[in-house]
Structure 1
Amino acid sequence: MPKSNTPISHSTANGAGSQRPWYLQLFYEEKTRAIIYQILVTGALILLGWYLVSNTLDNLARQNIATGYGFLSLEASFGISESMIAYSPADTYGKALMVGILNTIKVSIVGILLATLIGTLVGIARLSPNWLLRKFSGAYVNAFRNVPVLLQLFFWYALINTGLPKPRQALNPFGDLFITNRGIYTAIPEYHVAYWWMAAAALAGVIGWWALRRWAIRRQQATGQPFHHAIAGLALTLALILLAYFAAGAPTTMDAPSLQGFNFKGGWNISTEFTALLLGLTIYTSTYIAEIVRSGIESVPKGQWEASNALGLKPGHILREIILPQALRVIIPPLTNQFLNLTKNSSLAVAVGYPDLVSISNTTMNQTGQAIEAIAIFMTIYLSLSLGISLFMNWYNKRMALVER
C-alpha cells in the first residue's frame, strides 16, 4: 500500500484534546519566556527596593529623625582648612559640600596628570637598554606597588611633618618661596582683569594651534612638504597671551606671603595634607600605569622597531611616532581603570585631614544626623565622576581604534 506524504498534525495523532491552549504555546516560546523572566526579576527588584526604602523611612520616623535634603540650606557652622571658593562657617551645608566636591576634583585631576606622566616615563625606562635605569625603575615599581596606598599616605604625611621645619624656621630657597611643615607658600599675582583676558587669549591660541596642526597635516599629505606647526603654534599662543597682558594694563602687583604669628599669611599655599595625599595617590597609581605602558609597548611587534631602525630613524622618534601610537590601543582600557581607582582612592583623604567630599560629608552627618542623605550625595558624586572619566576615555579609545575598511 503506498505511503502518504501528508504530515500528521499533533491533534490528529494525539487527539484533539491534547492541543495546547494559545497562552501555553506562547509560554513555550523561548523569546516569550525570556521576556516573562525579565519582568518577574524586575518586579522582584522593585518590590525589594520599595521594602527597603519604606522600612528605612519607618525606622527613621520612629526615632524622630527628619528625612530629606532641607539641611543643605542650613548654616554649616564649621570651618574648612582648604577651599577653592570663598567659604566661611556662616555658609550653608550645601556650599560646604561644594567645597568638598571641588577639592576632590582638584586632587583627582592633578593626580591623574602626574601619575600618567610619571608612569609613562617609568614604563619606558623599564625597557631601557641602560642597566642602571632599568633596575632603578623596576625597584620603584616593586617597592611602591606592593605597599597599601593608605600606609603610603601616612608615610608621606609623617615625613613632611617631621622632616620639614616649622614656619618660623621655614626654608627659603629663593625669593618669596617658603617651605614648612604646614605647607609651601609662594607669591601669586593679585587679582586683575588682565588675567582673565590672558586666559581667553591662551584658549584662542590653543584653538589656533589645533587648526594650524590640521592644516599642516593636510598640506604634508598633499605636497609632501612638512611644516613645523609645534613651534608656530607655541609662538602664536605666547604672542596672544602677551598681547592680552599688555593691552589690559600689564599688572605687576604680587600677593606675597608673610610670617604673621605662628604661620604665613597671604600668597598661594599648597597644604601639607594636599601634598601628602597627592604624593601617595600619584606614586601608587604611577606604578600600575608604568606596567601598563611597558606591556603596551612590548605588545607592538618587534618588526616595527627593526623596520624603523632600518630606515635610520632615531630611537626617540621611533618610540614617539611609531610605537606609542600603536601601543595606545592596548594601554587605554587598563589605563581607564587606574584613573577610576585614583579618583575613588582620593576618598582616603580623611586619613590625613584633607577636606575632601567624604571628610566634609562625615562632619555634615555628625552635625545633622542625615547619614543616608549625606552618603547618597557623595555616592552620587563619585558615580558621576567615574562615569565622566569612563565616557571620556571610551571616546578617546574609539578615536585611537583601527578603522575597518
Structure 2
Amino acid sequence: MTLEHTNATGLTVERDLTVARRRRNRIRYHATQLAVVVAALALVVLFAVAVKEGLARHGIKFSFSFLWDAAGFDISEGKTFVFDSGFWLGFSDFTSDRSIAQAFVAGIVNTIKVAVLAIVLSTVLGTLLGVGRLSTNWVVRNLSFWCVEFVRNTPLLIQLVFWYFAVVLHFPPIAAAAKFYGVIISQQGLYVPALTWQGEGSAVAIALASACWVAVLGLVFDRHRTTRWICLGALVALPSLMLATGTLALDFPVASKFQASGGTSISPEMAALLLAIVFNSASYIAEIVRGSIDALPKGQWEAAASLGLGRRDTVNDIILPQVFRVVLPSFGNQYISLTKNTALGIAIGYPELFNIYGTIANQTGHSLEGIVIVMASYLILSWIISAAVSWADRRLSNPGAMR
C-alpha cells in the first residue's frame, strides 16, 4: 500500500467522521427544538384544560357559540363584514341586530383604521422632528428638542385626555365650523372630501381601475427602478384621468346649521386618539432617526460638502436613504406599540376592539372567551406589522432590489 493511498484513505475516513458529526449535531438541534415546541404546546393544553375544568366546577361553560348571537347594542361608529344575498361578502355599518362576531369585526376595523393612519402620520412627523433635532437653525433645533422631550416624558393617557377635552371638544360648533378647502372642523368631527365610484358597469372604468391595480402591484413587487418609476407615474396620472372621465367623483362635505353631510367624517373620539398616538409615537421615532443620523460617519457629510451639495440635498439624497436601511426594525417595534396603544381609546369612548370587548363581556358574561379573541387579534395584527416591516427591510437591504 502506497503512502498516497494511505493518506487518501485517512482523508476519506476523516471526512466521513465530520459528516456524521454534523448530521448528529443537526439531528440533536432539531430534536431539541421539537421538544421545546411540544413542551410549550403541552403547557398551553394543560392550562386550557385546567381553566375549562375550573369554570365547569362553578357552572360556567367555556364556549364561543355566543359569537353568533345578536349583539343587542349599537356602536357609535364602525363598519363590519356582512354577507349580501347569503354569499357575497360586503361592508356595512354595524347595527344592533348584527352578531357579536360582527361587533368584534367592527372593533378590529376601527383599531386598524387608527393604527394605519397613525403609522403613516407618525413616521412623517417623527422623521421631520428627528432631522429638525440636528438642524443648524437654532429655533428649529430647540423647538424640535422641546417638543420631543415634553411628549416623551408625559404619559400617553394624559396626552389623550388633553387632546380630547382641551382641544377637540373646544372646536367650534357645526354652525360656525372652520372650513379649509373643503375640510370642515367642528365639535361633531372632522369632515373631509371623499372619492366616490361612479363607473358602475362601464368598460372604461373597469379598464382604468384594473390599470391602477396593475400599477400598484408593479410598484410594490417589481425590482427594476425604471418599471417602478413608470408605475408611480401611472398611479399619479390614472386617478386624474378617472376624475376627468367621471369614473371617480369628489364628494365635498356640506355644513348646515345642525350637521354636515357628504364626504367622509372622523369622529371627535377618533380624532383625539389619532392626535395623541401620532404625536406620542412621532417623538420616539424622532429619537430613532436622530440617533441613526448621529451614528453615520462624519465622512458622509464631508464627502457631500466636497461635491458641492447643500445641507438639504445631503440629508435628502445621502443621509436619509442610509438611515432608513437601519431604522426599519426599530420603526417596526414602534408601529406594534402604537397599534396596541389604540386600546386606550376606551378612556374617551372610541369604539375600538378593547372597548367593544368590555361591552360584550358585560352583556354576555363571556369575559374569558372575549379576552382570548382580543389577545389573538392584537397578536395577529402585530405579526402582520412585523412581517411587513421585515419584507421592507429585506427589500432595502438587498442591493439588487432597487435596480
- TM category (shorter chain) comes to 0.7 to 0.9
Residue 186 (structure 2) aligned to one of 180, 183, 187: 180
Instruction: Report what 1:79 is aligned to.
Output: 74
Contact 1:289 1:338 in 2 (8 A): yes
Over 3 Å counting, the alpha-carbon distance change for 1:302 and 1:119 in structure 2 is same
Post-superposition shift, 1:175? 7.0
Alignment of 1:273-292 (within 5 A): 273-292=269-288
Report the counterpart of residue 389 of structure 1 in structure 2: 385
Q: How many angstroms apart in 2 are the aligned matches of 1:185 and 1:290?
A: 29
Choose which of 85, 97, 100 in structure 2 pairs with 1:90. 97
Amino acid at match of 1:68: S
Match for residue 339 of structure 2 among 331, 336, 343: 343
Conserved 8 A contact 2:269-2:350: yes
- Structure 1 CA distance for aligned equivalents of residues 278 and 383 of structure 2: 21
Aligned to 1:52: 47
In structure 1, what is the equivalent of residue 368 of structure 2? 372
Structure 2 match to 1:16? none
Q: d(CA) in 2 for partners of 1:210 and 1:54? A: 45
* TM-score when normalising by structure 2: 0.78
Deviation at 1:171, TM superposition (A): 1.4
Map 1:276-355 → 2, pairs under 5 A: 276-355=272-351
Superimposed CA distance per residue, residues 154-192 of structure 1 (whole angstroms, 9 cap, x where no aligned partner): 11010235422333x431435764322221234545553
Match of 2:176 in 1: 170
Q: Is the 8 A contact 2:170 2:187 kept in 1?
A: yes
Query: In the alignment, which residue of structure 1 is the partner of 2:238?
Result: 240
Letter in 1 for 2:50: N
Distance 1:114 1:61, change over 3 A: same
1:201–1:244 Cα contact (<8 Å) kept:
no
Question: Equivalent residue for 1:203?
Answer: 213
Distance 1:310 1:187 in 2: 47
Alignment partners' CA distance in 1, 2:254 and 2:241: 29
- Over 3 Å counting, the alpha-carbon distance change for 1:209 and 1:171 in structure 2 is same
Quick check: 2:103–2:356 contact (8 Å CA) kept in 1? yes
Deviation, 1:265, is: 4.9
Is it true that 1:132 corresponds to 2:142 in the alignment?
no
- One-letter amino acid of the counterpart of residue 361, structure 1: Y
Cα distance in 1 between the residues matched to 2:284 and 2:306: 33
String of CA shifts for 1:253-298, please: whole Å, max 9, x gaps: 84744547x5445542110000000011000010010010011111
The one-letter code matched in structure 2 to 1:83 is: G
Q: Percent identity of the aligned residues?
A: 36
Query: In structure 1, which of residues 120, 145, 150 is the aligned counterpart of residue 152 of structure 2?
Result: 145
**Equivalences, count:** 361
SS in structure 1 at match of 2:71: coil
Q: 8 Å contact 2:343–2:353 — kept in the other structure? A: yes
CA 95–276 in structure 1, closer or farther in 2 if over 3 Å, else same: same
Q: Which has the higher strand share?
A: 2
Matched residue of 1:193: which SS? Answer: coil
Aligned pair partner of 2:352 in 352, 356, 360? 356
CA shift, 1:212, in A, is: 10
- What is the rounded CA distance, in whole Å, between the counterparts of 2:116 and 2:133 in structure 1? 25
Query: For residues 32-84 of structure 1, what are the alpha-carbon distances to aligned partners after superposition, in whole Å with 9 as ceiling and x for unaligned?
Result: 99999888877765665444323322232233333221111110011111114
Q: Which letter does structure 2 place at the counterpart of 1:298?
A: D
String of CA shifts for 1:97-147, please: whole Å, max 9, x gaps: 111111111111110110000000010011111111000000100111100
Which of 68, 73, 91 pairs up with 2:63?
Answer: 68
Q: Secondary structure at the match of 1:81?
A: coil
SS for the counterpart of 2:324 is: helix
* Equivalent-residue separation in structure 2 for 1:301 and 1:211 (angstroms): 32
Letter in 1 for 2:212: A
Report if the CA contact (8 A) 1:197-1:245 is conserved.
Answer: no
* Post-superposition CA distance 1:347-368 (Å, at most 9, x none): 1111111111111111111111
**Over aligned residues, Cα RMSD in angstroms?**
3.4
Aligned partners of 1:209 and 1:236 also within 8 Å: no
Contact kept in structure 2, 1:187 and 1:254, CA below 8 Å: yes
Q: Which residue of 2 aligns with 1:117?
A: 124
Contact 2:111/2:352 (<8 A) preserved: yes
After superposition, the C-alpha distances for 1:359-381 in whole angstroms (9 at most, x for unaligned) are 11111111111111111111111
For 1:237 and 1:30, how far apart are their aligned partners in 2? 53
Superposition deviation, residue 398 in structure 1: 2.5
CA contact (8 A) 1:165 1:180 kept: yes
- Over 3 Å counting, the alpha-carbon distance change for 1:288 and 1:274 in structure 2 is same
Tell me, in whole angstroms, the C-alpha distance in 2 between the residues paired with 1:32 and 1:208.
42
Larger mean CA deviation between 103-112 and 232-241 belongs to: 232-241
Q: Which moved more, 1:85-94 or 1:123-132?
A: 85-94
CA 1:397–1:236 in 2, change beyond 3 Å: closer, same or farther? closer
Q: Is the 8 A contact 2:336 2:382 kept in 1?
A: yes
Stretches of structure 2 that go unaligned for 5 or more consecutive residues are 1-23, 80-90
Rounded Cα–Cα distance in structure 1 between residues aligned with 2:168 and 2:123:
27
- Are 2:71 and 2:97, in contact at CA under 8 Å, matched by a contact in 1? yes
Secondary structure of residue in 2 paired with 1:127: coil
Please tell me whether Structure 1 or Structure 2 has the larger radius of gyration of its CA atoms. 1
Q: Which amino acid aligns with 1:334?
A: S
- Superimposed CA distance per residue, residues 289-341 of structure 1 (whole angstroms, 9 cap, x where no aligned partner): 00100111111111111111111123222222222222223322222111111
